[in-house]
Amino acid sequence: MAIDEEPVRKYPRQYIAPQPARQAAEKTDSGPGDVRQPLFNHEVLLIEHQFVEPEHHRRAFEELSKKWQEAFAACRDLPARPSQTTIDAWVIMAWGGRRYCVTVQLAAPQTAAWLSEFETMICSRLGQ
């Protein structure tokens, strides 16, 4: 999983704002600079309910939340680490927001603007 490589391993000893938050958000949805990941698209969302069961969604959420926890734990000099509840809320907002961007088929600049605002929100909460 790409999130292992950048936010968690790239910043193991110090926090360089706002890179870990930005990279965690990017890896959650599409990857660096790519707002239309091929495996995460409108057509797949339309048929997803046919082959994905609730436990699959739960497992994906739990694993993604764990990766975000690791990313923020690697930020040693944050004024205060976000709680698991806060990180879970951010994961839900990132995942749900990204899915909705795909569902309504926003243009790439609109999706990029959403991601930028999401990053700003997290950095603001972190006091950056």
32 domain residue, yes or no: no
Mean pLDDT of the region 87-97:
92
pLDDT of residue 91: 93
Decide if pLDDT at 58 tops 80.
yes
118 domain residue, yes or no: yes
72 domain residue, yes or no: yes
* Counted domains in the chain: 1
**Higher per-residue pLDDT: 19 or 90:** 90
Residue 33 — left, alpha, or beta (φ > 0 → left; ψ -120 to 50 → alpha)? left
CA angle 103–66–92, rounded 5-degree value: 30
pLDDT, tens digit, for every residue of 69-90?
A: 998 888 888 888 899 999 999 9
34 domain residue, yes or no: no
Range of the domain at 91: 1-9+60-128
